């Protein structure tokens, strides 16, 4: 599950979509990137997102939180000088800890999900109902 906190769908929708699709069993890799170079904003987002994903069943220790600036390329491919407060991300796994500082390192640390070929095919369905507008 890859989540950009500042744009598009909310974190809540992404997390619930992932959980609905079998997230607790199949998705072992979560990366949350935050479009903010401010330490206070990043910590606020990390705290809020960690709290929420813990409520729906994910372990926040397995999620890489990475502050980036897509406009300037900070912390995307190489560590940024503009974020000296960011010491890096750590993911805890059964195999051990994985560490890094940039978004590309977090993406490279993603492990492919196992495919249970001996079990029936699972297709998650999601229906969103809304009010229709009248002409």
pLDDT by residue, tens only, the chain of 135 residues: 455 555 445 666 666 666 555 544 444 567 777 777 788 888 988 888 888 878 877 888 888 889 988 788 889 999 999 899 999 999 988 888 999 999 999 999 988 777 778 888 877 676 666 666 655
The pLDDT value given to residue 102: 93
Whole-number Å distance between alpha carbons of 14 and 42: 19
Whole-number Å distance between alpha carbons of 32 and 65: 5
The pLDDT value given to residue 100: 95
Q: 3-class SS at 129?
A: coil
The pLDDT value given to residue 104: 93
The pLDDT value given to residue 117: 83
Half-sphere exposure of 23 (CA within 13 A, CB side): 19
pTM: 0.69
Which secondary-structure segment (H or E) carries 96?
A: strand 96-100
88: left (phi over 0), alpha (psi -120 to 50) or beta: left
């Amino acid at each position: 599950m890859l989540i950009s906190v500042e744009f598009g769908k909310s974190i809540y929708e992404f997390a619930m979509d992932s959980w609905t699709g079998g997230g607790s069993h199949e998705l072992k890799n979560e990366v949350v990137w935050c479009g903010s170079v401010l330490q206070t904003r990043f910590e606020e987002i990390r705290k809020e997102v960690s709290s929420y994903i813990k409520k729906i069943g994910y372990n926040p220790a397995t999620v890489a939180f990475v502050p980036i600036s897509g406009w300037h390329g900070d912390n995307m491919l190489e560590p940024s000088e503009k974020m000296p407060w960011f010491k890096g991300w750590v993911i805890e796994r059964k195999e051990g800890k994985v560490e890094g500082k940039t978004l590309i390192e977090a993406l490279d640390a993603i492990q492919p999900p196992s495919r249970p070929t001996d079990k029936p095919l699972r297709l998650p369905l999601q229906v969103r109902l809304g009010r229709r507008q009248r002409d």
